[in-house]
Structure 1
Amino acid sequence: MNDRYGTDVLAGDWKAPPRGRSREVTAERGLVVEDVQTGWCGAVVTVEKAGGLHVVHLEDRRGKTKAFPLGPGFLLDGQPVVLVAPKAAPAPATPTRTASGSRAVAAAPARVALGSRIFVEGRHDAELVEKIWGDDLRVEGVVVEMLDGVDDLGAVIRDFRPGPQRRMGVLVDHLVPGSKEDRIVQAARAVPEAREHVLIVGHPFVDVWQGVQPRLLGWTEWPVIPRGMSWKHGILAELGWPHATQADVAQGWKRILGSVRTFTDLRPELLGRVEELIDFVTEPV
C-alpha cells in the first residue's frame, strides 16, 4: 500500500552525524587512527594513565609520537570511533605444584633456616637446584651452600661440625668409580665427623649442565668433548654459541638454565640424588 504523503522524516535516526555515530574500539597496539581535531594520523603505540586520565600515544609514519586523551574524537577508516583502553590481562592462576612437582604451599610464612645444609660444588649447581627445588627448600628452611669444588671436602665437614640437628648433605659432580671425585668422597666419608650425620651423593655427569635433558638443546644425547678441551667451551662450540671467554660460558649457562621449567626437564640421575639429600636434611630427628 503506497503512502501518498511519503515516509515520516523524523521516524529514522535524523540526528545522526554525516559520518555516522561513533562506536567503541579497543586501542590495541598497531591500530591506525586519526585525531579529528588535529588531523594527526598514527598507529597506537601504548595506552597509559597520566594525571588520572588515560592517554593514547600515536606514532605517525615519520616515527614521531604524540599523546591524546583516550575516548571520542578519532576516526578509523573514516568512521568515528571512541577509543577505549585494552582490558587488563587476568592474573595468572596460583600454581598448585612447584617446579619439582611438589604441592605448592600458598602464602607460606618465612621460616627460620635449619641448622642442616645442602652443599653443592659451584654456582651453576646452586642455580639449578634453586630453580627446581627453591620453593620446597624455602618452605622447609633449608639453605644451599656452594663448596667451590670438593678437593677439601674432609676439611669442610670438620669445620661444619655435623650433628643430629645439623645434618650435612653434599652433591658431587662426576661421582663414578675410579674418578678423582670418588677418591675424595671415600676419604671424606672416613672423617669421624661424617659417620652419622653426613650424606654424600653424586651424579655421573661431567658437569651439572649434563643433568639437563639434552632434548631442550635439540640433541638426543650430550656430545662427547675430546680430552684436553675445556668441557663447557666444547659444549658451547657444539651448540654454535659464543665460547671464547668465561663471559661466553656464563651467558651460555644462562640460556641452558632458561630452558629448564620443571623437574621433567632434568635427568633422573640428578633428580634422584637431590631428592635424596632433601629427605636426609629434613628428616625428623
Structure 2
Amino acid sequence: MSRTHDYRGMFDAAGTRTVRRKQVPEVPAEPGLVVEDPATGFCGAVVSITGSEVTLEDRFGGRRVFPLRPAAFLHEGAPATLVRPAPRQAGRTLSASGSVHVANLKARTARAARIWVEGLHDAELLERVWGHDLRVEGVVVEPLHGVDDLAAAVREFDPAPHRRLGILVDHLVDGSKETRQARDAYRATPQAQHNVLVTGHPYVDVWQAVKPSVVGIREWPTIPRGTDWKTGICARLGWGEPADGARRVLGAVRSYRDLEAPMIGAVERLIDFVTAATSGEPDAGGANSAMQ
C-alpha cells in the first residue's frame, strides 16, 4: 500500500524549500537572572548588561563577559536571546518580593503576631525576599529550631485574635510527621483553631525551595533516607560543609523569582494571615481549611 505525503507549505513559488525557524524567546537580562552559555558550559547570574555584552557570575564568584547574540544562551534549559530590560517607571520600584517598594521606610512597631519558621536558614530566606514587606507590616519572624513539639510551643505563645501565629513548615505533605504535628498545633488551645495557620511547602528542606538553576545545577540530587539532607547535598555537589552550602544557596537568592511557587504561596498566605487581625479582615474559613 503506497503512502501519500502532504507537501503543502514546504516549498515556495520558485520551488525552493521553505525553512521554518523555531521562534526563540527574548528574555530581559534582569540582575540575578541565571543563564548558561552552551558553548562553554558556564552557568551564572546576570551581573550587568550593555548594548553588546552581558557579564555573568557563577556560584563560585567567577565572572565572564559574553557577547549578546540571538539564541546564544540557555534559560531554564531552552534557547533564549538576552535583551536589555525595559526601563523601570519613574517613582515605582519593586521590592524583592514583587511588592511596591516603600521609599524612606521607617519600620512600624512590631505586632504581637509572629511568623515561626523551622530554622535559621528559613528565617534568612524570608528576610532576603520578604524583609521589606515584613518591616512595612511590623511582622517578626522567629526560628523554632525544629517542630518536634509544636503544640507545646503554641500553648506557650497563647494565640488570640490580636496575636495571631503563622507557622512555616518544611515537608508538609500527607502522611509526614510534620503534618501530624501541624494538626496537633490546631488543638493546642481553644483559640488556636482560628488564630493559628500552619502551612508550608513539599520540599525536604528550605534549600530545595530555591530553583536549581539559581544555584547553577540542573536539579537537586536525591538523598537517601537516613542521611542528613544538607550534608548529603553538599557531599554530592562538592560544596563542603552545610555552612558553605548555605552561603551558596541563600546568597544566590535575589528575589521571589528564584523560588518555587509553593514556597512563595505559603509565605504570602502567612503574611496575609497574621496581619489580618488588626486590619479588620475576617478569617477566611478558619486556619484548618488553609493548611497545606
The TM-score normalised by the length of structure 2 is 0.62
Structure 1: which amino acid aligns with 2:201?
H
Deviation at 1:143, TM superposition (A): 0.3
Range with greater deviation from structure 2 (107-116 or 203-212): 107-116
Offset, 1:282: 1.0
How many residues are treated as equivalent by the alignment? 188
Q: How does 1:205-244 map to 2 (within 5 A)?
A: 205-242=203-240
Q: Where do 1:174-185 residues align within 5 Å?
A: 174-185=171-182
Residues 63-85 of structure 1 deviation map (CA, whole Å, 9 limit, x = unaligned) = xxxxxxxxxxxxxxxxxxxxxxx
* Distance in 2 of aligned mates of 1:190 and 1:161: 12
The 5 A counterparts of 1:19-34 are none
Residue 194 of structure 2 corresponds to which residue in structure 1? 196
Which secondary structure state, in structure 1, belongs to the residue aligned with residue 96 of structure 2?
A: coil
Structure 1 segments unaligned to the other structure (5+ residues): 1-92, 243-247
* Separation in structure 1 between the aligned mates of residue 217 and residue 177 of structure 2, nearest angstrom: 28
Equivalent residue in structure 2 for 1:105, among 102, 115, 126: 102
Residue in structure 2 matched with residue 253 of structure 1 by the alignment:
246
2:203 aligned with 1:186: no
Question: TM-score, normalised to structure 1's length?
Answer: 0.63
More contact order relative to length (CA 8 Å, sep ≥ 6): 2
Residue 61 of structure 1 is matched in structure 2 by none
Bigger radius of gyration, 1 or 2?
1
Residue 188 of structure 1: how far off its partner (Å): 1.4
Partner of 1:118: 115
CA distance in structure 2 between the partners assigned to 1:206 and 1:160 by the alignment: 26
For structure 2, the 5+ residue unaligned runs are 1-89, 281-292
Larger deviation, residues 166-175 vs 184-193: 184-193
Instruction: Among all aligned residue pairs of Structure 1 and Structure 2, give the percentage whose two residues are the same amino acid.
Output: 57
SS of alignment partner, residue 237 of structure 1: helix
Contact 2:169–2:199, Cα closer than 8 Å, also in 1: yes
Tell me, yes or no, if the aligned pair for 1:157 and 1:193 is still in contact at 8 Å: no
Give CA deviations for 1:104-127 in whole Å, capped at 9, x if unaligned: 000122311011110001100000
Could you tell me whether the CA contact under 8 Å between 2:115 and 2:166 is conserved in 1?
A: yes
CA distance in 2, matches of 1:260, 1:134: 13
State the superposition RMSD in angstroms.
Answer: 1.5
